[in-house]
Structure formats: structure tokens, C-alpha cells
Structure 1
């Protein structure tokens, strides 16, 4: 099995969810479940944030121009239903059922065309940065998938490949730095974050400024920090080095 991680960085006004999250820093949406057939898509998403942020996210999902990840640049005439499954304080769980039309396109449907059946999807959306993690058989054509994805996205978003490897492989280069199981890239990101006050309260530097300092895209920086934080947290709780299985977790 192969792991493929990439990010879409949406331009303002090109994705309602991205706009809502950009207006409410700290809010985020992650998928709990995502399934697609040739003519259908179902997903359950878990959103966290302030009451105002969750109201904006809910409106973005339920408005007709979102269409559950449709990449079409104009109204594609799809049929979508979004329902609130749970709302509790700073969390919101949404269920979406989407039936596309022939002019629609989405990441899961493009993946089915080029990577085959049985692809597993996980997503995380923070600000304008929408990160996808795909687990696939490795028998498809990844280059053709990205060509089709970039064509469908057009100028609405920038596409960035973050990782492609065996699903059980360790993060990035799997280096043996001083921190438990961190690659050199993750350790550099974490060290810079501490040095420049990223973890201070309030923060002395935001993710965009820190990424500019390291001369990497913002989505690359946040991906490396999330993976480093995950591994350190699990190592602390387990009292041991993270296992390979833990390193494959997206969230």
C-alpha cells in the first residue's frame, strides 16, 4: 500500500469552506469518514472552533455553491444534502451526501479514475490549506492523477505534493535526530517554531511568517509540525519511541 499526501491552497473567493476558516483562525475541519462511488460521495466531517466559526462553516457546507468538494469552476447542477449530526459547544459534526453531474469533478472521483478502487481518504482543512491523505494500492498512475487534479483545480488553488511513500514508512526521510523518531525536516521545523515563539501565548510569529523564515510553503511547514507534535505526544504517553503504525496516522 502507498501513502499520498498533498495540499490545496485556495485563493480567496474560490472555496466557501476555505474562506470561512480563513476568517476564523484556529478553526478547522477534519473528515471522520469519506466514501465515493462513480456517481456518489458521502462524507462525515468534524469541525472545531468558536460559535461564530462553526456557524460560518455550517453555512459554507449547506450553501449550494460548495457541493462537497466539487472542483468545477461554475455551478455544476449537482444535488447535495448536508445535515448536522451533532453540535456541542465548540464542535460540529456534519453529514454530506453529494450526487455529481457529468461536469463535476472531485479529488475522490479523480483518484478513482487514476488510482483505482479501494482508495482511503482523510482530510484536514485549516484556513485556506486543505490537506488530503490517500492510501492506495500503488498500482495506479500517480502522475496522471496529479495532472488531472491540477487541470480540474485550475487557478482556484495551488497544489503541493507533501509526501508519497509506503504507507508503513516512517515520516519523510525517517532520520535519527535527537527527538524520538523525528525526521531532520520535522526537527528543523520544530526547533525554528520554538526559537521564534510560535508556541508562545500569544504567538510571536504565525505559521506564514515561520514558513517564510524556513523558505518552505506554509502547508509544508504545518504538515511537518503536526507530524512532529503527533509523534512526540504519542512517545510521551507511551513512554517509548513511536511505532511505525503510529507514524502512518494522519490526525
Structure 2
């Protein structure tokens, strides 16, 4: 089994959910379940954020011109049903049933075409960054998958490969430059630049905007890469401490 992690960074006005999340930093949507067949897609999503953020996310999902994960650049005429399963002050749970048309494309359907039918999907959406984690058999062609994905996405979003690894966790390819914690080359470059330019000094010697200009990437891209790198570093540190704490007891 193989693991594949990548992100789509949507341009403003090209994805209703991305626009809603970009207006509410800290809000996020993660999938609880994603299933796809040749002519259907079902998913359950959990959103977290402020009441205003959840209202905007719900409106984006329920809007008539938004189809779950559809990558078509124009109105595709798909049939979609979205139901609100739960909506509280700090959480929102949505169920979506999407029936695409021949002109539609989506990550799950492209994955089924190139990586096989038994692909597992997990997603996380923060701001304009939509991160996908796929578990697949390894028998398909990942290069063909990405070519088809980029062609379907067009100029609506940037595609960034974050990690490719065996299901056991050993990273290779683009995700191997970050050492044992599995940072992508982009995450490692952002982290190194942040340290070298004093982003983590107190007070900071450079702000996120100037650092993003130095790396020639949008500010949102930089902050996303730093957050993901920091998350991996923190988890690796805690895991290492647990291993030390669980070491053999002295006699």
C-alpha cells in the first residue's frame, strides 16, 4: 500500500468553500468519510470555527453553483444534495451526495481512473489550501494521475505534492528531504528561511509577508507550509519523548 499527500491552493473566486475559509482564519473542514463510484460521490464533512465561519461554510456548501469536489471550470449541470446533519456554535457536520455529469472531474474519480478503484481518501481544508491524503495499492501510475489532475484543475488552483510514502510511513521522492519527520521540500525550505531570517526570534526580525516575498510565494502558501512543518516537528518531538519515557526500566 502507498500513501500520497498533496494540496490544491485555490485562487480567489474559484472555490466557494475555499473563499469562505479564507475569510475566517482558523476555521477548517475535514472529511469524516469520502466514497466514490464511477457515477457518484458521497462524503461527510466536519467543520470547526467561529459561528460566523460556520454560517459561511454552510452557505458555500448549500449554494446552487457549488458541487462537491467538481473540478469543471464551467457550470457542469451535476446533481447534488447537501444536508446539514448538525450545526452548533462551534461545529458543523454536512452530508453530500454528488452525481457528476460527463464533463465533471474530481480528485476521487481521477484517482479511480489512474490508481485503481480501492483508493481511500482523507481531506483537510484550511483557507485556500485543500489537502488530500490518498491510500492506494501502488499499482497505478502516480505521474499520470498528477498530469490528469493538473489538467482538470487548470488555473483554478496550484497543485503541490507534499508526501509519497509506503503505508508503513517510510517516505521517498519529493517528501524525503525533511528527514525522518517527512517534511516536503517546500515545507523544509519555508522552515529554513524562517529560521535564517529571524521569523522565530522575539521580537520577530521579519514578518510573514516579507518572508513570503523573499521566497516568491503567496503569504497564505508560506503560512500553510510553516503550520504543517511545525505540526510535524511537534508531533515528532512528542513521539520521541514518549519513546524515551517508555524505555527499559533500570534494574
Same fold (TM over 0.5): yes
The answer to whether the 8 Å contact 1:235/1:241 transfers is: no
**Counterpart of 1:116?**
116
The answer to whether the 8 Å contact 1:162/1:220 transfers is: no
Assess, with a 3 A threshold, how the Cα gap between structure 1 residues 198 and 148 changes in structure 2: closer, same or farther.
farther
**Counterpart of 1:43?**
43
Report Cα offsets for 1:98-148 as digits up to 9, x if no partner. Answer: 111111110000000011011111111111111111111111011111111
DSSP 3-state at the match of 2:59 = helix
**Counterpart of 2:199?**
196
Report Cα offsets for 1:147-197 as digits up to 9, x if no partner. Answer: 111111111112122222223215633536xxxx57696677557657415
Question: TM-score if structure 2 supplies the norm length?
Answer: 0.80
Unaligned regions of 5+ residues in structure 2, if any? 245-251
The answer to whether the 8 Å contact 2:21/2:127 transfers is: yes
- Cα distance, 1:215 vs structure 2: 5.7
CA radius of gyration, larger in: 2
**Counterpart of 2:94?**
94
Root-mean-square deviation (CA), in Å? 3.1
Unaligned regions of 5+ residues in structure 1, if any? 243-251
Q: How does 1:16-35 map to 2 (within 5 A)?
A: 16-35=16-35
DSSP 3-state at the match of 1:64 = coil
The answer to whether the 8 Å contact 2:65/2:75 transfers is: yes
**Counterpart of 1:226?**
228
The answer to whether the 8 Å contact 1:193/1:199 transfers is: no
Distance 1:138 1:113 in 2: 13
Distance 2:13 2:159 in 1: 17
Distance 1:199 1:31 in 2: 37
Distance 2:182 2:143 in 1: 28
The answer to whether the 8 Å contact 1:9/1:130 transfers is: yes
Report Cα offsets for 1:8-66 as digits up to 9, x if no partner. Answer: 11111111111111111221111111110111111111111111111111111111211
**Counterpart of 1:247?**
none
Q: How does 1:108-147 map to 2 (within 5 A)?
A: 108-147=108-147
Question: TM-score if structure 1 supplies the norm length?
Answer: 0.80
Assess, with a 3 A threshold, how the Cα gap between structure 1 residues 224 and 32 changes in structure 2: closer, same or farther.
farther
Q: How does 1:201-220 map to 2 (within 5 A)?
A: 205-206=207-208, 209-213=210-214, 219=221
DSSP 3-state at the match of 2:101 = coil
Assess, with a 3 A threshold, how the Cα gap between structure 1 residues 230 and 158 changes in structure 2: closer, same or farther.
closer
- Cα distance, 1:231 vs structure 2: 5.0
**Counterpart of 2:249?**
none
Assess, with a 3 A threshold, how the Cα gap between structure 1 residues 227 and 183 changes in structure 2: closer, same or farther.
closer
